[in-house]
């Protein structure tokens, strides 16, 4: 490889970042499913010739997928798959459709582009293909092992026929599939242009330099922030939707020189229901990198360059390495909770340097039926909750745990689906109190405008998100169905097939998040602003923050000073972790 200067490396880095953004734009403008088009549940990637991710959000699945083809790959090939067990869990359930395109420049393989996104329905017993009652992947829908959708530029029409015959949303799925292909071909075209400008050798040298740069910076980060003595932490998923649970997730973290070790020994066995998450070593390395970079040094470029610095132990048959054919459709509860456990393990020896627990799941609202006009409709909306209080500031209110995700606009929902959104707001007092307040939950009230069926997927319904460094826990999630006859019922956090009538209302409340730091150290004026903005109630301001407001909403300085002194004397030292109702709920669930 030729020597390459740092300026050229920077130019290549920014060029590839722009290509990644263009992949997203191509997909958003072409896809039909709102989960992709509006909520951005998709993940682009550009790799080097060995399949190492250089820019993107998910990495390291290319070599395993390409190995399925004894004949290799040629220019014009487009690989398609939806089977988590065929790609080391890089896609985590069969609704995620992945496309991989090899990129050739002057007959030389210079890398791959890849994109996957969540399509609305892939068959199976329930609309949107996320059955709570599934006990194997065979009960969730149709899955595709790696196949060539295009071979040397020729479309395999039989695959399209199979796809469209096995979904309730054939038009949307075809559009989404071709939009994924278009996004990858966009990257293919742009990478060729870069190679044309700089030459293939310089381009490939630049990729190596970008991977090496991330390796060097992550080495320093690991040495600065990971403990040399093993530190363990555990958190729990409430249940699997079939009456089993809670499920413990336990992680032990330590460092030996430059090598970081992450051990999931002690995590509970895989679930009977569909909440298990197939976490390959490569995927967890990606998650570790994303977490460490976002928390400690966002300037580091996120790619696969640091993977050899990490060693992962995940027991076979556990909640995080289930054996085939375990059901995986509702795996996002475990996937999201993974970040809380990782945060907790990294903060055991230094609770002042890590965030608290967030809403820790990926809630889904699913609504299907037939309109009065006779048109079938299928909606899946990903909901969000409170992000945790952090060392640098308050948690975000009603935000996705994955930064790039956004909500479906109310105007879109009400235009394309028979429902009305009565309100969509942050839930006051749902974030844990702290020097840095935990983010509040979302509260969303739907009115169903057609008879249909509703499914709910959520967690943190029983166990609260914990606070850290003296912060308080956040609130749990809940759902209430209001019937037109005036009756109401609380729905469980995981349920399929709730029959609704036109005019019924559903209140969907997600989990809050834990606070960071002693609430009595929070600036009283920030508490005043929280009350003024409707984020914190007057009672919580006084009881948990020790801040007294006068009749005009101003801080009563004298009363506040006295109140805080009394609370400190009564409470004593603030605890490192505040788990809220954990012991009580675990005892109850375990009988």
Least confident of 212-221, 295-304, 358-367, 576-585: 295-304
How far apart are alpha carbons 112 and 89 in whole angstroms?
Answer: 19
pLDDT for residue 300: 82
Torsional sign, CA 130, 136, 141, 143:
positive
pLDDT single digits (tens) 194-207: 999 999 999 999 99
Bridging pattern class, strands 154-155 and 147-151: antiparallel
> Are residues 320 and 129 in contact, defined by beta-carbon separation less than 8 angstroms?
no
The per-residue pLDDT for 59 is 66
Give the H or E element holding residue 236: strand 231-237
pLDDT tens digit string along 483-534? 999 999 999 999 999 999 999 999 999 999 999 999 999 999 999 999 999 9
Number of H helices, E strands in the chain: 13, 22
Whether residue 454 contacts residue 502, with contact meaning beta carbons closer than 8 Å, is answered with no
Which residues neighbour 121 within 8 Å (Cβ) at sequence distance 6 or greater? 95, 127, 128, 129, 141, 167, 168, 169, 172, 173, 378
For residue 591, the model assigns a pLDDT of 65
Calculate the average pLDDT of the chain.
Answer: 94
Q: Are strands 364-370 and 231-237 parallel, antiparallel or unpaired?
A: unpaired
Sequence-ordered list of residues with C-beta below 8 angstroms from that of 197, at least 6 positions apart, any chain: none
Average pLDDT over residues 10-22: 95
Residue 1: band (very low, low, confident or very high) from pLDDT cuts 50, 70, 90 = low
User: What does 525-536 look like in DSSP terms, one character per residue?
Assistant: HHHHHHHHTTSS
- Which residues lie below 8 Å from residue 213, measured CB to CB, with a gap of 6+? 9, 301, 305
Q: Which of 66-75, 131-140, 220-229, 302-311 has the lowest mean pLDDT?
A: 220-229
User: By percentage, how much of the chain surpasses pLDDT 70?
Assistant: 99
Q: Check residues 302 and 264 and name the one with the higher pLDDT.
A: 264
| β-strand partners of 380 | 366
Contact present, 89 and 278 (Cβ < 8 Å): yes
Which residues, 6+ apart, have CB-to-CB distance to 218 below 8 Å?
289, 292, 293, 300, 305, 306, 309
Whether residue 351 is predicted with pLDDT greater than 80 in this model: the reply is no
- Is 58 a residue whose pLDDT tops 80? no
Q: What is the pLDDT of residues 399-451, one digit of tens each?
A: 998 777 899 999 999 999 999 999 999 999 999 999 999 999 999 999 999 99
Laid out side by side, the sheet with 478-482 consists of 419-426, 442-448, 505-509, 478-482, 488-491
For residue 228, give both structure tokens: 């040399």
What's the whole-number mean pLDDT along residues 362-381? 94
- 161-171, pLDDT tens digit by residue? 999 999 999 99
Q: What is the model's pLDDT at position 376?
A: 94
Judge whether residue 481 has pLDDT over 90: yes
């Amino acid at each position: 490889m030729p020597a390459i200067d740092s300026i050229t490396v920077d130019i290549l880095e920014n060029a590839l970042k722009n290509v990644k953004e263009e992949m997203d734009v191509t997909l958003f403008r072409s896809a039909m499913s709102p989960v992709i088009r509006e909520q951005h549940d998709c993940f682009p990637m550009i790799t080097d010739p060995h399949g190492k991710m250089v820019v993107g959000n998910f990495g390291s699945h290319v070599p395993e997928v390409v190995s399925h083809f004894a004949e290799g790959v040629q220019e014009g090939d487009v690989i398609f798959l939806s089977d988590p067990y065929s790609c080391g869990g890089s896609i985590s359930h069969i609704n995620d459709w992945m496309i991989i395109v090899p990129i050739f420049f002057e007959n030389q393989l210079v890398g791959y582009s890849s994109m996957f996104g969540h399509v609305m329905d892939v068959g199976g017993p329930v609309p949107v293909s996320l059955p709570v009652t599934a006990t194997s992947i065979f009960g969730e829908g149709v899955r595709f092992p790696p196949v060539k959708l295009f071979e040397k530029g020729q479309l395999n029409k039989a695959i399209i026929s199979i796809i469209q015959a096995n979904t309730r949303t054939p038009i949307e799925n075809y559009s989404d599939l071709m939009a994924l292909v278009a996004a990858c071909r966009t990257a293919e075209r742009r990478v060729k242009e870069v190679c044309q400008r700089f030459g293939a050798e310089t381009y490939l040298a630049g990729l190596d330099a970008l991977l090496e740069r991330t390796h060097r910076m992550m080495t320093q980060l690991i040495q600065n922030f990971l403990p040399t003595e093993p530190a363990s932490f555990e958190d729990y998923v409430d249940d699997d939707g079939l009456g089993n649970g809670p499920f413990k997730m336990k992680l032990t973290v330590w460092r030996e020189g430059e090598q970081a070790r992450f051990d999931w020994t002690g995590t509970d066995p895989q679930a009977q229901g569909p909440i298990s998450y197939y976490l390959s070593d490569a995927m967890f390395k990606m998650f570790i990198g994303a977490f460490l970079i976002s928390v400690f040094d966002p300037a580091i470029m996120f790619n696969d360059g640091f993977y050899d610095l990490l060693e992962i132990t995940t027991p076979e048959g556990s909640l995080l390495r289930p054996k085939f054919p375990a059901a995986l459709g509702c795996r996002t509860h475990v996937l999201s909770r993974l970040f809380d456990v990782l945060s907790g393990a990294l903060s055991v020896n230094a609770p002042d340097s890590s965030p608290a627990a967030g809403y820790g799941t990926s809630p889904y609202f699913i609504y299907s039926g037939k309109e009065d006009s006779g048109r079938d409709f299928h909606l899946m909306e990903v909901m969000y909750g409170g992000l945790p209080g952090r060392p640098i500031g308050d948690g975000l209110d009603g935000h996705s745990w994955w930064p790039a995700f956004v909500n479906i606009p109310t105007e879109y929902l009400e235009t394309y689906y028979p429902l009305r959104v009565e309100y969509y707001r942050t839930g006051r007092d749902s974030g844990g109190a702290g020097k840095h307040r935990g983010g509040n939950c979302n509260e969303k009230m739907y009115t169903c405008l057609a008879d249909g069926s509703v499914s709910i997927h959520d967690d943190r319904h029983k166990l609260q998100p914990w606070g850290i460094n003296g912060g308080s826990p956040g609130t749990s999630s809940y759902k209430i169905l209001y019937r037109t006859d005036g009756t109401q019922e609380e729905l469980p956090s995981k349920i399929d097939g709730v029959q609704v009538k036109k005019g019924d209302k559903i209140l969907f409340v997600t989990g809050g998040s834990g606070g960071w730091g002693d609430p009595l150290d929070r600036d009283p004026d920030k508490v005043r602003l929280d009350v003024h903005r409707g984020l914190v109630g007057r009672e919580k301001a006084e009881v948990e923050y020790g801040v007294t407001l006068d009749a005009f909403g101003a801080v009563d300085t004298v009363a506040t000073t006295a109140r805080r002194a009394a609370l400190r004397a009564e409470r004593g030292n603030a605890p490192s972790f505040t788990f809220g109702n954990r012991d009580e709920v675990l005892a109850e669930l375990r009988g």
